[in-house]
Structure 1
Amino acid sequence: MMGEELTGLNIKDLQNLESQLEMSLRGVRMKKDQILMDEIQELTRQGNLIHQENVELYKKVYGTRDVNGTSKELFVTNGQSIEEDPHVAVHLQLSQPQQQNYETPTRATKLG
Structure 2
Amino acid sequence: MTRQKIEIKKIDNITARQVTFSKRRRGLFKKARELSTLCDAEIALIVFSSTGKLFDYASSSVQQVIERRGMLSETERLDHPSIEYDRDTLSMLSKEEANKVRELRQLNGEELEGLNTNELQKLEEQLEKGLRRVSKAKDELMFKGLDELKRKRTQLMEENQRLKQVMRNVAQEQGQSSESVNIGSIFDPPLEDDSSDTSLRLGLSLFK
CA distance in 2, matches of 1:95, 1:50: 26
Tell me the residue number matched to 1:18: 124
Instruction: Report matched runs for 1:1-112 at 5 Å.
Output: 1-62=107-168, 72=179, 74-75=181-182, 97-98=194-195, 99=197, 100-101=199-200
| Alpha-carbon spacing, 1:51–1:96, altered in 2? closer, same or farther (3 Å) | closer
Structure 1, gaps ≥5 residues long: 66-70, 77-93, 104-112
Bigger helix fraction? 2
Higher relative contact order (CA 8 A, sep 6+): 1
Asked which structure has the greater CA Rg, the reply is 2
TM-score (norm 1): 0.57
1:81 maps to none
The percentage of counterpart residues that share the same residue type is: 33
More strand by share: 1
TM-score (norm 2): 0.33
- Number of matched residues? 81
Q: Which residue in 2 is equivalent to 1:84?
A: none
